[in-house]
Structure 1
Amino acid sequence: MELSISLMKQIAAMFLMIIVGYILIRKKVCNISDSKILSTLVLFVSGPCAIINAFTIELTADKVKGFVLAVFAAIIVHIVYIFISYILEKIFKFNAIEKASVIYSNCGNLIIPLVQLVLGQEMVFYASAYLIVQTILIWTHCKFIISEDRNFNIKKILFNINILAIFIGMIIFIGQVNLPIPVQSAMNSMGNLMGPLSMFVIGMLLANMNLKEVCMQRRAYMISFFRLIFLPGIVLLIFIFSGMTRLIKGADEIMLISFLAACAPSASSVTQFAQIYDNNPGMASVINALSVILCIITMPFMIMMYNLMV
């Protein structure tokens, strides 16, 4: 229960940051083009720093086991989501954007800063496991769904900035490399900016949308329900009845991080692919925006359910 309350407080704080970003655009203090600059800073500076920082921890058998468990949990989540999405596609006639929005979550820009704030910087180490699995699937499965392009580009995966940051972090972790204090301090400060900057960007993008139109899209509510409540509920039952939350020491916290990622709003990558391949970008933006707004209520509720059942 305490964790749910803490999560609610942090989500409320992040929501206030979203409002700040919204006001900056509405009051014309900033232009919508400025959001691209902030997005670039998050993508290429703050995000990688937060990930690398998470790997500057002591190498122990427990941490290795925990990381393997986190990767396994992420794989299970995606298998379940992909399988069920195909069933839902047949029943509700999902298009490519709706299907991808149900499967893929914003496990980077939202979950990493949330884990930083609620569980501590060290736990980002386990959050990166989900990011590895999803990044691979985003550039293969998700790209294929939206573009119907079967070409597999390994470079796009290996040279993805988050994968590179995780690779560098793994070298530091396995080699137990001690970074110079000024470098570590600078990276820590830049990594801590990820949360506020990410929230500002979301607020700025929402300010550029017709929120009345967003809230009137009935189908987007259905997609958000599957993304934020229905599928995470199934994953929660699998985590509990499979005994995964008790496999190793600290498994309940590690699985909580995977569960946080599983019940996050739809991935911004879906919107980006929709724009690139001109496949319903408007619908993708609406689903993304609505799921972000609704997650303020749904995520604390789902975490409360996790705490009650685990």
Structure 2
Amino acid sequence: MTLALIIGTMIFKMFIMMSVGMIGSVTKLITEEGNKAMTDVLLFIVTPILILVSYQVDFSKDKLQGLLLAIGLSFLSHIIAMVIASIGVKKKNNTDYQVERMGTIYSNCGFMGIPLLYALFGAEGVFYVTAYLTVFNLFVWSHAVILMTGKVDKKGILSVFKSPNIIAIIIGLILFVTGIRVPELILDPLKTITLVNTPLAMLVIGATLIQSNLLKMITKSRLYYITFLRLVVVPLFLIIAFKILGLTGMVPTIILIATACPVASTGTMFALRFDKNSNYAAGLLSISTLMSIMTIPLMAIISEWIQ
């Protein structure tokens, strides 16, 4: 079975879980308050535990080299996205250019990427995608804040180190490098908690799609243009870069999938925080999430064909 078919199968299963979240929202079983509570549980409890557990592996030079490679490729991915956003989204006569550029650059690597890569590669997939997540957070709290406000926010940049995910990555790295293992009596229950990561994330995404007034957004053509940049153009240029550099294997594949994920939910949060067009940001999140069901397997097919 090719990687594209495996990814397609996993995304279809994830879409079924999303659909349950949609039904729960339509029937009011999942309210906006309930969805926010589930989001907090996912962001502040489940995902950090998943990251921490993924680092509970024996130290090896190969894994360390793979992690360093993942960090380098994550920087490359974001730089490519920034160049494409600056070319494809102009400031002139565009009051929403900040929202569009952020949507083009930043992927939903946490909500969509981690569950998908965990389903595909298990804890090893999460181990390497933490590199992308780290670079994502560094750029979000520096570049994205400057993009949205037009000024440097030193406190905002420093706040990246208060993120539960970043804290989990730092602790996990220390445990990985030193070879310290969490006792099985503690580790086993933590592993059990990680099992809810994918279904919980999909329920949240499904409910969010309904609560973001998706039907009002689907007629806006500009949404599809930005979605095309995020889901097709950025991953394609990364695939070409991998080809030029002669990179193949699990680590480049993981970074490609993280890059090919839909518009980051952080974009909507930042639009709300900095008084930008949050409805437009939510529309980008919704449309790109639905379209990614088709485009992520497509990017895998193209990557396999080119390589």
TM-score (norm 1): 0.95
Which one-letter code corresponds to 1:132 in the other structure? T
User: Is contact 2:145-2:153 (8 Å) kept?
Assistant: no
Q: What is the root-mean-square deviation in Å for CA atoms of aligned residues?
A: 1.4
Distance, in Å, in 1 between the alignment partners of 2:217 and 2:254 is 29
Could you say if the C-alpha distance between residues 91 and 158 of structure 1 is closer, same or farther in structure 2, counting changes exceeding 3 Å?
closer
Corresponding residue of 2:225:
222
User: Is contact 1:11-1:296 (8 Å) kept?
Assistant: yes
Corresponding residue of 1:12:
12
Which one-letter code corresponds to 1:89 in the other structure? V
Which one-letter code corresponds to 1:208 in the other structure? Q
Corresponding residue of 1:249:
none
Which residue of 161, 166, 169 maps to 1:163?
166
Could you say if the C-alpha distance between residues 90 and 210 of structure 1 is closer, same or farther in structure 2, counting changes exceeding 3 Å?
closer
1:203-253 CA-to-partner distances (Å, cap 9, x unmatched) read 1111223322121111000000000001111110011111233xxxxxx11
Which residue of 95, 98, 109 maps to 1:96?
98
Q: Could you say what secondary structure the match of 2:151 adopts? A: coil
Corresponding residue of 2:297:
300
1:54-110 CA-to-partner distances (Å, cap 9, x unmatched) read 111111111111001000000111111112211122398561000110000011111
User: Is contact 1:109-1:194 (8 Å) kept?
Assistant: no
- The answer to whether residue 275 in structure 2 is matched with residue 278 in structure 1 is yes
Which one-letter code corresponds to 1:65 in the other structure? Q
Distance, in Å, in 2 between the alignment partners of 1:296 and 1:78 is 22
Distance, in Å, in 1 between the alignment partners of 2:292 and 2:262 is 6
Which one-letter code corresponds to 2:251 in the other structure? I
Q: CA deviation at 1:155?
A: 3.1
Distance, in Å, in 1 between the alignment partners of 2:264 and 2:138 is 14
Q: Could you say what secondary structure the match of 1:150 adopts? A: coil
Which residue of 171, 190, 203 maps to 1:200?
203
- The answer to whether residue 187 in structure 2 is matched with residue 177 in structure 1 is no
Identity, % of aligned positions:
30
Q: Following superposition of structure 1 onto structure 2, how do residues 1-310 of structure 1 map, counting pairs within 5 Å? A: 2-90=2-90, 95-153=97-155, 154-245=157-248, 252-310=249-307
Which one-letter code corresponds to 2:67 in the other structure? F
Distance, in Å, in 2 between the alignment partners of 1:190 and 1:102 is 33
Which one-letter code corresponds to 1:256 in the other structure? T
1:270-296 CA-to-partner distances (Å, cap 9, x unmatched) read 110101111110110000110000000
User: Is contact 2:35-2:204 (8 Å) kept?
Assistant: yes
Q: Could you say what secondary structure the match of 1:131 adopts? A: helix
Distance, in Å, in 1 between the alignment partners of 2:90 and 2:35 is 37
Distance, in Å, in 1 between the alignment partners of 2:234 and 2:301 is 16
Distance, in Å, in 2 between the alignment partners of 1:212 and 1:178 is 49
Q: CA deviation at 1:306?
A: 1.2
Which structure 1 residue ranges, 5 or more long, are not aligned? Answer: 246-251
Distance, in Å, in 2 between the alignment partners of 1:232 and 1:116 is 20
User: Is contact 1:105-1:262 (8 Å) kept?
Assistant: yes
User: Is contact 2:42-2:201 (8 Å) kept?
Assistant: yes
Which structure 2 residue ranges, 5 or more long, are not aligned? Answer: none
User: Is contact 1:56-1:169 (8 Å) kept?
Assistant: yes
1:94-150 CA-to-partner distances (Å, cap 9, x unmatched) read 610001100000111111111111112122111000001010000010111112231
Number of aligned residue pairs: 304
User: Is contact 1:220-1:290 (8 Å) kept?
Assistant: yes
Q: CA deviation at 1:304?
A: 1.2
